[in-house]
């Protein structure tokens, strides 16, 4: 494993714990918009590039129960709006065959 990959693995654990703590203590509003945007952008880019590079669809969350349906849909909708897509565009992508998804439950 490269040092960059090891760094990302370590930071991901620390970031996940910090965000879960901020949610539990109801202090998420003290996290800057810019920090949330950087985290979301990096996560989406990493997920896309890893799944393409490995030719597989990986589970994008730590478990199917990690997000509520509301959290998942709100995040997905805002990402779609941010890149100026619409439901028709989404329907085209959604119908696209997925790469090998053996890693999914």
> What is the value of pTM for the model shown?
0.83
CA angle 35, 68, 101 (to 5 degrees): 90
Q: Which helix (H) or strand (E) holds 15?
A: helix 3-24
Residue 5: both structure tokens together: 């990959």
Residue 96: its pLDDT value, please?
Answer: 81
CA distance 27 to 5: 29
Cβ proximity of 55 and 99 under 8 Å? yes
Q: What pLDDT digit, counting tens, does each position of 22-71 carry?
A: 999 999 999 999 999 999 999 999 999 999 999 998 999 999 999 999 99
Q: What pLDDT digit, counting tens, does each position of 77-102 carry?
A: 999 999 999 989 988 888 888 776 55
Confidence of residue 76 (pLDDT cuts 50, 70, 90): very high
Straight-line distance from the first to the last Cα atom of the chain, in angstroms, rounded to the nearest whole number = 26
Q: Is the pLDDT of residue 103 over 60?
A: no
What is the average per-residue pLDDT within 3-16? 94
DSSP at 45: H
Residue 105: its pLDDT value, please?
Answer: 46
């Amino acid at each position: 494993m490269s040092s960059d990959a090891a760094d990302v693995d370590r930071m991901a654990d620390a970031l996940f714990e910090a965000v879960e703590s901020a949610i539990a203590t109801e202090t998420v509003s003290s996290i800057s918009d810019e920090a949330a945007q950087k985290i979301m952008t990096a996560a989406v880019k990493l997920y896309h590039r890893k799944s393409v590079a490995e030719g597989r669809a990986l589970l994008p969350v730590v478990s199917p129960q990690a997000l509520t349906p509301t959290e998942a849909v709100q995040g997905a909708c805002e990402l779609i709006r941010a890149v100026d897509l619409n439901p028709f565009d989404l329907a085209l992508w959604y119908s696209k065959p997925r790469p090998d998804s053996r890693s999914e439950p």
